[in-house]
């Protein structure tokens, strides 16, 4: 290896080094753009996927709350209906007892009065 070089040889070596550096820089730049863009695309697709999953989870939560509240309301309605059925059974027993005591059937107007009250 020669320690001392003349000016022409130094320029030639410097240009070769610069050309190799530029080529490596261009290759590195292209690879960075390719992989950098893929990272950006991956980040965007992850964001979109995450947003869609978030919407699905939110929708399922809202639907489950709605169904839970509906179940509670139906339970309350069922309880009211059971109480009303018990009252109607008691009234029916009372009217059956009256029918047995009187020995005659109630009139149509009396029956319609009873049924109209529950409509």
The pLDDT mean for the chain works out to 83
Rounded average pLDDT over 25-50: 86
Q: Is 4 inside a domain boundary? A: no
Evaluate whether residue 90 is within a structural domain: yes
pTM for the model: 0.46
Give the whole-angstrom CA distance, residue 104 versus residue 108: 12
3 belongs to a structural domain = no
Q: Give the structural domain span for 68.
A: 16-116
The number of domains in the chain is 1
Say how many CA atoms lie within 13 Å of 62 toward its Cβ. 6
How far, in Å, CA of 69 to CA of 85, rounded?
Answer: 24
pLDDT in tens, 62-109: 999 999 999 999 989 999 999 999 998 888 888 887 777 766 665 556
């Amino acid at each position: 290896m020669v320690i001392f070089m003349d000016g022409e040889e130094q320029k030639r070596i410097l240009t070769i080094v610069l050309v190799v550096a530029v080529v490596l820089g261009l290759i590195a730049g292209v690879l960075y753009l390719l992989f950098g863009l893929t990272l950006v695309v991956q980040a965007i697709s992850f964001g979109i996927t995450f947003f869609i999953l978030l919407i699905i989870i939110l929708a399922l939560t809202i639907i489950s709350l709605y169904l839970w509240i509906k179940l509670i309301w139906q339970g309350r309605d069922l309880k009211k209906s059971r109480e009303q059925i018990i009252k109607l059974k008691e009234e029916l027993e009372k009217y059956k007892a009256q029918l047995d005591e009187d020995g005659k059937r109630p009139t149509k107007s009396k029956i319609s009065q009873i049924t109209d009250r529950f409509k």
